[in-house]
Chains A and B, each alone.
Chain A
């Protein structure tokens, strides 16, 4: 009797899960069958075609509704307005690697000249990007330092340069003296490790009056609450500490909250990676001196500039030292012939935070 019950239950579960799969497939099919043009009209802002150029350049992002990529779209649209190129941005409705590949597939099937991609999973995009390149479509990627099938990959900056830049901002706030500590999401996070190592190296080189406390790096688990608790603890143990350098976007605001609540605003400072949408209240109070990051609008613009240069037959000009005409990309560096770094970091402060609303 009991066995029978379980059998039915398992059957039921299977039916439910199959039904789930079915509806998903259906959804995908409708997405495929629906005319792509209609979707493009819906999700993108196409620029008015100009006689000077009739290139069609698509920028594919990780997710359309993310404030970060809404900001990137501003850059793409500005490029379209300024050059007359038919440039537009598209992206899946949620951050899903398979859906993103499908968006790229649809674009490749169309009459398109270049495609700029911010891959969710670079490895998953390799085959579709190869297909695009075989078809003669120019491929530019961003945030994908390992991408094989692309004409160029462009990064806003290299990790060492960015770490040093964060340290410069913190040193400025601290008056180049006093104790400080670095905050990382996890000690195993590669980017955060490189940034904080570079920041520490910069301090040792440039700011002899600053001192790293023995803890060196504290883990904040990508959580603002954890960052807040750890900073409070550090402040109790090291009452003379003056600076917190955060590498995860929750670090500076978490530190800022602790500094404000403990009545140390103006005496202790936090600086490092964050964005306005998280750090605004603490930039306002002054406990977070600077939030550093890169501007997605500029990165989007730069990708399109590169694509147009290649289409114009100016591929040979893309060399170290080239000015792309975009803030932060005035003097790019090229390694291995296709990996480009800019110096595209920005400093968000109390005064300019309304310009960087992402």
Chain B
């Protein structure tokens, strides 16, 4: 019974795809199942892993967001400029705190506009994304710089562990900020599963009217979801700077699509109401593996876009097909229950 349930789960198919892909990479390069490659993969998962948590929450609630890269970069840039001007030398925690607060405000603006105007979140966030980016470019005159505030730049060289591949003579280090990924994932999982607010997010995505009638404060939940994404984006902005080691105010542009794709790939229903933390993480892992292994697989640069597209379609296709089959079974089941299947059939 339990194995049958597993077969129905979308995460299972994403996991199988990941396993097959890793076998292919291993066969082609012999460099997948090595300690340093796993460390590299873990490092590459930090940013997409964090961001997909927020995006998943928004999509479960029936919304979407394309403005978080802009929020992330604006809060990062403003924070770093401020700390540089202050010649701040204290704890790095303040950098995170300021960025989170700025991100929270910008996210709440998104949430408030969505609640007030009742327009699709996509349109609202498309607009605010442009405003936030424009503000950063015009008012703050953003530019790339390798000059970072002292505490942030010290954090760049802070690692949890270093593994060395004796055969190749190369080593890989896992940055300390990896810890934050674990904390954020654990927090999101707890919130969605064990709190009333989390259940409210699912209810809102499933049916807003029903959620309201059931006593959920619908607008409050929306504000929370977009505020959370904003705060998370601010946090990611600083994390990204620590990972890259320089302040790159345009570096996340276009990243929203990767994150949304990862969440959908992981089985979160784009119409809302359904999705899991594990699925989204697996989706993010699959996309990260694809983009970071094309060279290892020996795909020529000219073909990389083509292959990436194919892998995304195959990956989503498998889970979409599963969902479709489930729906059909469900529809048949419902009709049978009502004794209508013989006259009505499938619509």
Check: B341 CB closer than 8 A to any chain A CB.
Answer: no
Query: A226-244 interface mask toward B, CB cutoff 8 Å, 1 = contact, 0 = none?
Result: 0011101111110100000
Q: B301 touches which one: A218, A229, A235 (CB < 8 A)?
A: A218
Spot the interface stretch: A123-131, A165-173, A256-264, A297-305: A256-264
Query: What's the minimum C-beta distance from A204 to chain B, rounded to whole angstroms?
Result: 19
Q: A236 touches which one: B164, B173, B296, B302 (CB < 8 A)?
A: B296
Contact A262 B138 (CB under 8 A): no
Which chain B residue shows the least CB distance to A234? B295
Query: What's the minimum C-beta distance from B273 to chain A, rounded to whole angstroms?
Result: 24
Contact B44 A277 (CB under 8 A): no
Q: B170 touches which one: A94, A239, A257 (CB < 8 A)?
A: A239
Chain A residues lying within 8 Å of B117, measured Cβ to Cβ, are 9
Contact A262 B171 (CB under 8 A): yes
Contact B144 A264 (CB under 8 A): no
- Chain A 212-256 interface residues, beta-carbon cutoff 8 Å to B: 214-219, 222-225, 228-230, 232-237, 239, 250, 253
Q: Which of B138, B144, B146 gathers most chain A CB within 10 Å?
A: B146
- Chain A 70-97 interface residues, beta-carbon cutoff 8 Å to B: 94
Spot the interface stretch: B62-70, B239-247, B316-324: B239-247
Contact A219 B301 (CB under 8 A): yes
Chain B residues lying within 8 Å of A223, measured Cβ to Cβ, are 248, 251
Which chain A residue shows the least CB distance to B164? A263
Which chain A residue shows the least CB distance to B293? A233
Query: What's the minimum C-beta distance from A196 to chain B, rounded to whole angstroms?
Result: 11
Contact A225 B138 (CB under 8 A): no
Chain B residues lying within 8 Å of A264, measured Cβ to Cβ, are 169-170
Contact A237 B145 (CB under 8 A): no
Q: A233 touches which one: B145, B167, B292, B300 (CB < 8 A)?
A: B292
Q: Which of A228, A257, A262, A278 gathers most chain B CB within 10 Å?
A: A262
CA distance in complex: A66, B142 (Å)? 9
CA distance in complex: A264, B170 (Å)? 7
Check: B81 CB closer than 8 A to any chain A CB.
Answer: no
CA distance in complex: A136, B244 (Å)? 51
- Chain B 157-193 interface residues, beta-carbon cutoff 8 Å to A: 164, 167-173
Chain A residues lying within 8 Å of B302, measured Cβ to Cβ, are 187
Contact A236 B170 (CB under 8 A): yes
CA distance in complex: A217, B300 (Å)? 9
Contact A277 B170 (CB under 8 A): no
Contact A278 B246 (CB under 8 A): yes
CA distance in complex: A65, B296 (Å)? 42
Contact A239 B251 (CB under 8 A): no
CA distance in complex: A215, B300 (Å)? 6
Q: A219 touches which one: B170, B173, B251, B304 (CB < 8 A)?
A: B304
Contact A253 B143 (CB under 8 A): no
Query: What's the minimum C-beta distance from B76 to chain A, rounded to whole angstroms?
Result: 13
Chain A residues lying within 8 Å of B138, measured Cβ to Cβ, are 94
Check: A325 CB closer than 8 A to any chain B CB.
Answer: no
Which chain B residue shows the least CB distance to A268? B170
Contact A253 B146 (CB under 8 A): yes
Query: B128-150 interface mask toward A, CB cutoff 8 Å, 1 = contact, 0 = none?
Result: 00000000011001011111000
Query: What's the minimum C-beta distance from B41 to chain A, rounded to whole angstroms?
Result: 10
Contact B244 A236 (CB under 8 A): no
Query: What's the minimum C-beta distance from A167 to chain B, rounded to whole angstroms?
Result: 19
Which chain B residue shows the least CB distance to A275? B144
Contact A67 B146 (CB under 8 A): no
Check: A332 CB closer than 8 A to any chain B CB.
Answer: no
Query: B33-63 interface mask toward A, CB cutoff 8 Å, 1 = contact, 0 = none?
Result: 0001100100010000000000000000000
CA distance in complex: A215, B147 (Å)? 33
Check: A280 CB closer than 8 A to any chain B CB.
Answer: yes
Chain B residues lying within 8 Å of A277, measured Cβ to Cβ, are 143-147
Check: A347 CB closer than 8 A to any chain B CB.
Answer: no
Contact A224 B248 (CB under 8 A): yes
Query: B279-318 interface mask toward A, CB cutoff 8 Å, 1 = contact, 0 = none?
Result: 0000000000001111110101110100000000000000
Residues on A lying within 8 angstroms of B by beta carbon are 9, 65-67, 94, 187, 214-219, 222-225, 228-230, 232-237, 239, 250, 253, 257, 261-264, 277-281
Residues on B lying within 8 angstroms of A by beta carbon are 29, 31, 36-37, 40, 44, 117, 119, 137-138, 141, 143-147, 164, 167-173, 240, 243-246, 248, 250-251, 291-296, 298, 300-302, 304
Besides the known contacts A233-B293, A278-B145, 19 further A-B residue pairs in the complex with CB atoms under 8 A apart: A215-B301, A218-B295, A224-B246, A225-B243, A225-B248, A229-B44, A232-B40, A235-B170, A236-B29, A236-B168, A239-B167, A239-B170, A250-B144, A261-B171, A262-B172, A277-B143, A278-B146, A278-B246, A279-B146
Nearest 10 pairs between A and B by C-beta?
A: A239-B168, A262-B170, A233-B295, A263-B171, A236-B31, A280-B146, A225-B244, A65-B141, A223-B251, A94-B138
- A/B interface sample: 16 pairs, CB < 8 A: A66-B143, A94-B138, A94-B141, A215-B295, A215-B301, A224-B248, A224-B251, A232-B172, A233-B292, A235-B170, A236-B29, A239-B167, A261-B171, A277-B144, A277-B145, A281-B146
